[in-house]
Amino acid sequence: MNIALIAHDKKKSDMIQFAIAYRDLLADHTLYATGTTGLRVKEATGLPIHRFQSGPLGGDQQIGAMIADNAMDLVLFFRDPLTAQPHEPDVSALIRLCDVYAIPLATNMGTAEILVRNLNKGTFDFRDVAKNGGTHETT
């Protein structure tokens, strides 16, 4: 599965702790991340990570493009709800794309843990169907 890792500045340490704790599970998947988050997770875990631009410089949109192309399976986006983000429209667009394309999205560590613990239990088999000919319909 293709998994995106994104974290606002005040949540980067949470993402690093999470990635360390679930390193073995994450190692079985292809990881993508926005710039600084990806660098810090890679340094802490040694996991290979494809790094995009920083979120405010377009990284959120690059991940969004993968979602729109049905090339992302799971998004772990540790958001800071207490700090205004200068790129909030990009954040909202990314979350909207996850909803439009039925991509599982965790915006906090608790939800991320539930999703990651289920990676190898068949819970995400629907993503294989979506990638192999499933269609997206709009209303």
Q: Binding site membership for substrate: which residues?
A: 8, 12, 34-37, 54-55, 87
Q: Which residues are annotated as a binding site?
A: 8, 12, 34-37, 54-55, 87
From the list 14, 24, 60, 73, the catalytic residue is 60
Burial class from Cβ neighbours inside 10 Å (0-12, 13-18, 19+) for residue 106 reads: buried
Contacts 24+ apart (CB under 8 A), 83-90: 83/8, 83/9, 83/10, 85/8, 85/56, 86/56, 87/55, 87/56, 87/60, 90/55, 90/56, 90/58, 90/60, 90/61, 90/64
Residue 90 known to be catalytic: no
Q: Point out the residues that are catalytic.
A: 60
